[in-house]
Structure 1
Amino acid sequence: MPKVSIVIPTRERAEYLHYSIQTALAIDDADIEILINDNFSQDHTREVVEAFDDPRLVYKNTGRRVSMRENYNDAIANATGDYLISFGDDDGIIPGQFPFLRKILEDYQPDGVSWIRGTYGWPEDASNKKLGGMRFRRDNLFGDAYRYDPKERNLQALLQCRLNDIYPVTPNLYHGCVSRAYIDRIAPTEGVFLNSLIPDVNFEYRATIEGGDFVHVDHMFTVNGYAKKSTGGAHSGNATDKTQVDPAKRFELENEADPYNDLFNHARFVPLAFLATLETVRERGGYADAKVDYHAWYKFNLQVAAKRKHPFESVKTILQDYAKRTNTTQELDALLQDLPKLKRTPKEIWGRATEIVRSLRLDDVGDGTENTIMTAVNTCDAVLGQSYGQIQSGDLSETQAWRAVKQRAGQQK
């Protein structure tokens, strides 16, 4: 039976971490390790971890303030499992669904497994009624596991910036599971598992270029939490030392000091971070044959920047500088002269409409006393039940399982 490491990198968010740890400790499985890799937190993070009494729980501290990439890289190095799952310190794993994930690992013995993550907003803003609840989507539950090679399936889509054709069937170390053997096999150098700033995107893009034997399943095994202090693009962690006036600025300074900083600045803009990661991975990995469609990537960045009222000029300036370095100014200039507006395709509009119809929402996933990531994953287990195991054994159909979900969800309201 393979050992599974559940890795939670953290920095100064003890109030969320407490509940995130609880979700992993609730798993009834002796062959797991829960690794908390602490980026030199100055709050009560260590005390939160040490308050738990479970031999499966391991605490590591970087001993100094490092970048997010370095902390994540340390976490990978410190993990001892045959497989690694990672998520953030305000996220959680659904404990009652873990046995079904383990069965997939044992049956397929893949390089990794990707799945659909749930979404939960910590109810810290009473005026936002969308927080503290969860939506369950018919098409994201109880799907059959199937193999795929990310290089065959996704590489051309990635190079051509057709990102909607990729997700969610893509290798994930973050809210996904990857074998230690595969991580070591594609490591850029010994001891360096991530060679650009954004850990999850770096791994995904390298795995897509390298390829491998992966499995995807449309089922919910983890829940992505978001809170006021969620990492996000700016990593707006809460500071406790007086030298940190602006947490986002300190995050940038730490990135600049990282020896594996990206090739160019992405101005806290996610589409630009995607391009910066791809270009950094290509250059540092020697993937010259992976030819990027710069016109498509520039178009994507400019359209999103214009639509979302992000400082358009800063994005344009960064792209202009990079276009000069790559001799692609012609592609960029053509777009700047006539930039089409970003519009949703009929497929996207129809997909969103059918998704709402084929789903159900619970507005409150609390237990009557509190509403946290722990109560959220407990609600998931109450709603999902053991249906996926019955599907794996052939005793239940997906249609029957969804019918049972609706019945159980009704009991939660």
Structure 2
Amino acid sequence: MTLLSVIIPTHNRAKYAVQSIRSILELSDQIQVVVCDSSPVDDISGQFLGEYPESRLKLVRSGEGISVVDNFNLGLRSADGDYLAFIGDDDFVSAEIVKVAAWAKFKNVDSLKFNFPALYYWDDFKHATRGESYFGTLHLAPFDGTVVLHDLKASMDYALDNFGGGVFNMPRAYAGIISSDLARRIERKYGGLFGGVSPDIYSSFLIANESQSCFLIDYPVIIPGASGVSTSGQSSSGGHYGKLRENSHIAPFKDLVWDSRVPEFYSVPTVWSFSLLKAVEKVEAHRGVSLSPNFGRLLLKCFVYFPRSYKETLFSFRKLCSLYGAGKVIGQLVGSVWGEFLWGASRIINRFRARHVTNTIEVFSGLDTSYLASQELGRKLKARKVDLQLPE
């Protein structure tokens, strides 16, 4: 059996996927790359004809019209590795991922969460305020190689309190590593690892709930990429918002029944909160207890950041009041103001520091593809000589 399967769901993005696939395959023969391609035209397999056996590169044509959740689940079923890492088609990994997976297997670790000291920006990524200055750049922040136990319950509690805010500190299958044993346990218990309309946050909550051991690693093992058509790229350019049913991401979910407690429009907070809510319901059903997401925090985000969708937000507000009582919902909403203010203030401060304060982040330019960025990162990691401190 393969030590590690790196799974890449993709759709109409061969430009990015081919470069990332090649960079990963060249790292180690202990890595299998599984590509689940839902594109109408196959522009990937022809780039690798006869180069690798299926034990190293498995190309799965998932067919048109498949949702991102179904594509992720297909990737899970197609992978052969003892450990699994899902990444975006514009992301890549460093060679140390093999050492990490081998250690996790030896120690019988369920899940691994990573800090991301390295970030890569493709040659078509346009920053919201800095324009084209990020084109083809690798950003490398300080890291110390530490590996420490991670508090799973605290990560779940925080995600529930900042409802709609993201994955935060929960362990992940996407941009993280989990054991195939954990994935199968979750499948048997909940019917699937991925669900909702955002496979990332849905799976993260189930992973956090079911993991028996999780470690946090401060080292550039998985390197998130941002391209012009990625979620981060769309968010940066302001294009990640609109009518729910008209969005290309949502369209493949043919029988989607939206939860009226979440405002029905397409945005990052609503997609994330809907998906987290569906995972919460799975866990609640098995535990027999209520986990109480902070719906007021979500409503506040929607009212403040998406005022054009106030009708949808008011509808969900009334629904929540009818279910849980107006006092509780209004109390949550008002109580979330300070937390959301601090979050917004921290973003402004960080942007100011990035522009005006000298920092220790190194930026390497002229790296137009993830393949080139992977090679550059490998050289820089050797030069830094910071070792992974994997516990014995």
TM-score range, shorter chain: 0.7 to 0.9
Task: Tell me which residue corresponds to 1:8.
Answer: 8
Q: State whether structure 2 residue 144 is matched by structure 1 residue 142.
A: yes
Provide the rounded CA distance (Å) in 1 between the counterparts of 2:245 and 2:19: 23
Q: Any conservation in 2 of the 1:234–1:248 contact (CA below 8 Å)?
A: no
Change (3 A) 1:50 1:391: closer
Q: State whether structure 2 residue 111 is matched by structure 1 residue 115.
A: no
1:326 corresponds to which letter in structure 2? L
The offset of 1:273, in angstroms, is 2.5
The offset of 1:26, in angstroms, is 1.6
1:362 corresponds to which letter in structure 2? V
The offset of 1:375, in angstroms, is 1.4
Per the normalisation by structure 2, the TM-score is 0.80
Provide the rounded CA distance (Å) in 2 between the counterparts of 1:143 and 1:347: 30
Provide the rounded CA distance (Å) in 1 between the counterparts of 2:45 and 2:363: 33
Task: Tell me which residue corresponds to 1:263.
Answer: 259
The offset of 1:113, in angstroms, is 0.9
Provide the rounded CA distance (Å) in 2 between the counterparts of 1:104 and 1:283: 34
2:301 corresponds to which letter in structure 1? V
Where does structure 2 lack aligned partners over 5 or more consecutive residues? 236-243
Task: Tell me which residue corresponds to 1:193.
Answer: 193
Per the normalisation by structure 1, the TM-score is 0.76
Q: State whether structure 2 residue 298 is matched by structure 1 residue 301.
A: yes
The offset of 1:57, in angstroms, is 0.6
Provide the rounded CA distance (Å) in 2 between the counterparts of 1:350 and 1:250: 31
> Counterparts of 1:101-180 in structure 2 under 5 Å?
101-117=100-116, 118-124=118-124, 127-138=131-142, 141-151=143-153, 153-161=154-162, 167=168, 169-180=169-180
Task: Tell me which residue corresponds to 1:26.
Answer: 26
Provide the rounded CA distance (Å) in 1 between the counterparts of 2:90 and 2:315: 32
Say which SS state the counterpart of residue 129 (structure 1) adopts: helix
1:134 corresponds to which letter in structure 2? L
The offset of 1:165, in angstroms, is 11
Change (3 A) 1:319 1:131: farther
Task: Tell me which residue corresponds to 1:240.
Answer: none
From 270, 275, 281, the counterpart of 1:277: 275
Provide the rounded CA distance (Å) in 1 between the counterparts of 2:358 and 2:164: 24
1:136 corresponds to which letter in structure 2? L
Q: Any conservation in 2 of the 1:119–1:223 contact (CA below 8 Å)?
A: yes
Task: Tell me which residue corresponds to 1:230.
Answer: 230
2:161 corresponds to which letter in structure 1? Q
The offset of 1:43, in angstroms, is 2.8
2:376 corresponds to which letter in structure 1? T
Change (3 A) 1:215 1:340: closer
From 312, 318, 331, the counterpart of 2:328: 331
Say which SS state the counterpart of residue 221 (structure 2) adopts: strand
Say which SS state the counterpart of residue 21 (structure 2) adopts: helix
Q: Deviations over 1:39-94 (max 9, x none)?
A: 2x123434445446112111111234211101111111111111101111111112
Q: Deviations over 1:196-236 (max 9, x none)?
A: 2211101111122334211111111122112222246989x
Worse-matched range after superposition: 142-151 or 199-208: 142-151
Q: How many residues align?
A: 368
Provide the rounded CA distance (Å) in 1 between the counterparts of 2:171 and 2:192: 18
Change (3 A) 1:33 1:267: same
Change (3 A) 1:351 1:148: farther
Q: Any conservation in 1 of the 2:7–2:84 contact (CA below 8 Å)?
A: yes
The offset of 1:108, in angstroms, is 2.9
1:27 corresponds to which letter in structure 2? L
Q: Any conservation in 1 of the 2:203–2:279 contact (CA below 8 Å)?
A: no
Q: Any conservation in 2 of the 1:113–1:176 contact (CA below 8 Å)?
A: yes
Provide the rounded CA distance (Å) in 1 between the counterparts of 2:251 and 2:177: 30
Say which SS state the counterpart of residue 252 (structure 1) adopts: coil
1:377 corresponds to which letter in structure 2? S
Q: Any conservation in 1 of the 2:247–2:266 contact (CA below 8 Å)?
A: no
Q: Any conservation in 2 of the 1:302–1:312 contact (CA below 8 Å)?
A: no
Q: Any conservation in 2 of the 1:112–1:179 contact (CA below 8 Å)?
A: yes
2:145 corresponds to which letter in structure 1? G
Provide the rounded CA distance (Å) in 1 between the counterparts of 2:389 and 2:335: 52
2:308 corresponds to which letter in structure 1? P
Q: Deviations over 1:297-331 (max 9, x none)?
A: 42x33443344355341551353254156324433
1:9 corresponds to which letter in structure 2? P
Q: Any conservation in 2 of the 1:23–1:377 contact (CA below 8 Å)?
A: yes
Provide the rounded CA distance (Å) in 2 between the counterparts of 1:221 and 1:201: 20
Change (3 A) 1:208 1:64: same
Q: Any conservation in 1 of the 2:45–2:59 contact (CA below 8 Å)?
A: no
Q: State whether structure 2 residue 78 is matched by structure 1 residue 82.
A: no
Change (3 A) 1:262 1:223: farther
